[in-house]
Structure 1
Amino acid sequence: RVVLVVTHSLTYLDVCDQVLLLAPGGKTAFCGPPGQIGPAMGTTNWADIFSSVASDPDGANQRYLALTGPTPPPPPQEQPSDIGEPTHTSLLRQFSTIARRQMRLIISDRGYFAFLALLPFIMGVLSLSVPGTVGFGVPDPMGNAPNEPGQILVLLNVGAIFMGTALTVRDLIGERAIFRREQAVGLSTTAYLLAKVCIYAAFAVVQSTIVTAITVAGKGSPTQGSLTFLGPTLELFVVMAATTVTAAMVGLALSAMAKSNEQIMPLLVVAVMSQLVFSGGMIPVTDRLVLDQLSWLTPARWGFAASASTVDLIKLVPGPLTPKDRHWEHTASAWWFDMAMLGVLCVGYLTFVRWKIRLKSA
Structure 2
Amino acid sequence: MGVPVRKVAMTATGLTTRVRHKGTYKTLLDGVSLSLESNSLVAVVGPSGSGKSTLLRALTGYQPADEGEVLCGGRNLYEHFAELRRRIGLVPQDDILHTQLTVRTALRYAARLRFPRDTSQAERDRRVEEVLDELGLAHRADNRVTALSGGQRKRVSVALELLTKPSLLFLDEPTSGLDPGLDRQVMQMLRDLADDGRTVVVSTHSVANLGLCDRLLVLAPGGRAAYFGPPGEALAFFGRTHWADVFEDFDRHPEREAEPEPVVARRDVPTLAAPAVSVMQRPPAPQRWGSQLLTLVRRNCSVIAADRGHVWLMVALPVLLGVLSMAVPAQYGFLPASQAGVDLAACAPNFNADAQCVLLVLAIGACLTGTANSVRELVQERVIYQRERATGLSRSAYVVSKIVVLGAITAVQGLVVAGIGLWGRRLPGHGLVISSSVAELVAVVVVLAVTSMMLGLIISALVRTAEKTMPLLVLATLVQVMCSGAVFPLFNQAGLAQLSWLSPSRWAVAAQAATIDLSRIGPPAEAGRPGLVDPLWTHTAAQWGLDVGVLVALGVAGVAVVTVLLRRHEPVVMRRR
TM-score (ref. length: structure 1): 0.80
Task: Quickly say closer, same or farther: Cα 1:146–1:310, change in 2 above 3 A.
Answer: closer
Q: What are the equivalent positions in structure 2 for 1:1-362 lying under 5 Å apart?
A: 3=188, 4=191, 25-26=227-228, 28=230, 65=265, 69=267, 71-75=269-273, 77=275, 80=278, 84-139=282-337, 146-220=352-426, 222-223=427-428, 225-320=430-525, 324-358=533-567, 359=570, 361-362=572-573
- Greater shift, 316-325 or 105-114, is seen at 316-325
3-state DSSP of counterpart to 1:252: helix
- Cα distance between partner residues in 2 of 1:129 and 1:183: 47
Decide whether the 8 Å contact of 1:224 with 1:312 is kept in 2: no
- Cα distance between partner residues in 2 of 1:22 and 1:346: 50
- Greater shift, 159-168 or 352-361, is seen at 352-361
Task: Quickly say closer, same or farther: Cα 1:74–1:105, change in 2 above 3 A.
Answer: same
Task: Quickly say closer, same or farther: Cα 1:19–1:140, change in 2 above 3 A.
Answer: same
Decide whether the 8 Å contact of 1:139 with 1:148 is kept in 2: no
Deviation at 1:216, TM superposition (A): 2.6
Whichever residue aligns with residue 274 of structure 1, its letter is: V
Deviation at 1:22, TM superposition (A): 10
Deviation at 1:75, TM superposition (A): 4.9
Could you report, residue by residue, the CA deviation over 1:115-159 in whole angstroms, capped at 9, with x for unpaired residues?
A: 111111111111122123321222369999941111111100111
Deviation at 1:267, TM superposition (A): 0.6
Task: Quickly say closer, same or farther: Cα 1:168–1:17, change in 2 above 3 A.
Answer: closer
Deviation at 1:287, TM superposition (A): 1.9
- Cα distance between partner residues in 1 of 2:326 and 2:352: 16
3-state DSSP of counterpart to 2:487: coil
Q: Please, which runs of 5 or more residues in structure 2 have no aligned partner?
A: 1-133, 135-186, 192-201, 219-225, 250-258, 340-347
Task: Quickly say closer, same or farther: Cα 1:338–1:9, change in 2 above 3 A.
Answer: closer
Deviation at 1:342, TM superposition (A): 0.5
Whichever residue aligns with residue 338 of structure 1, its letter is: D
Deviation at 1:338, TM superposition (A): 0.1
Higher strand share: 2
Higher helix share: 1
3-state DSSP of counterpart to 1:356: helix
- Cα distance between partner residues in 1 of 2:368 and 2:280: 54
3-state DSSP of counterpart to 1:285: coil
Whichever residue aligns with residue 496 of structure 2, its letter is: L
- Cα distance between partner residues in 2 of 1:297 and 1:18: 58
Whichever residue aligns with residue 554 of structure 2, its letter is: L
- Cα distance between partner residues in 1 of 2:563 and 2:416: 30
Decide whether the 8 Å contact of 2:374 with 2:454 is kept in 1: yes
Whichever residue aligns with residue 203 of structure 1, its letter is: I
Task: Quickly say closer, same or farther: Cα 1:92–1:74, change in 2 above 3 A.
Answer: same
Deviation at 1:74, TM superposition (A): 3.0
Task: Quickly say closer, same or farther: Cα 1:240–1:78, change in 2 above 3 A.
Answer: same
Matched residue, 1:38:
none
3-state DSSP of counterpart to 1:154: helix
Task: Quickly say closer, same or farther: Cα 1:328–1:22, change in 2 above 3 A.
Answer: closer
Task: Quickly say closer, same or farther: Cα 1:185–1:72, change in 2 above 3 A.
Answer: closer
Deviation at 1:100, TM superposition (A): 1.1
3-state DSSP of counterpart to 2:493: coil
- Greater shift, 88-97 or 127-136, is seen at 127-136
Equivalent pairs counted in the alignment come to 332
Task: Quickly say closer, same or farther: Cα 1:22–1:85, change in 2 above 3 A.
Answer: closer
Task: Quickly say closer, same or farther: Cα 1:223–1:19, change in 2 above 3 A.
Answer: closer
Whichever residue aligns with residue 487 of structure 2, its letter is: M
- Cα distance between partner residues in 2 of 1:331 and 1:180: 48
Whichever residue aligns with residue 356 of structure 1, its letter is: L
- Cα distance between partner residues in 2 of 1:29 and 1:214: 69
3-state DSSP of counterpart to 1:235: helix
Task: Quickly say closer, same or farther: Cα 1:85–1:309, change in 2 above 3 A.
Answer: same
Whichever residue aligns with residue 437 of structure 2, its letter is: P
Task: Quickly say closer, same or farther: Cα 1:9–1:236, change in 2 above 3 A.
Answer: closer
Task: Quickly say closer, same or farther: Cα 1:230–1:92, change in 2 above 3 A.
Answer: farther
- Greater shift, 118-127 or 69-78, is seen at 69-78
- Cα distance between partner residues in 1 of 2:481 and 2:217: 65
> What fraction of aligned residue pairs are identical, expressed as a percent?
31
Decide whether the 8 Å contact of 1:22 with 1:30 is kept in 2: no
Deviation at 1:334, TM superposition (A): 0.7
Task: Quickly say closer, same or farther: Cα 1:108–1:324, change in 2 above 3 A.
Answer: same
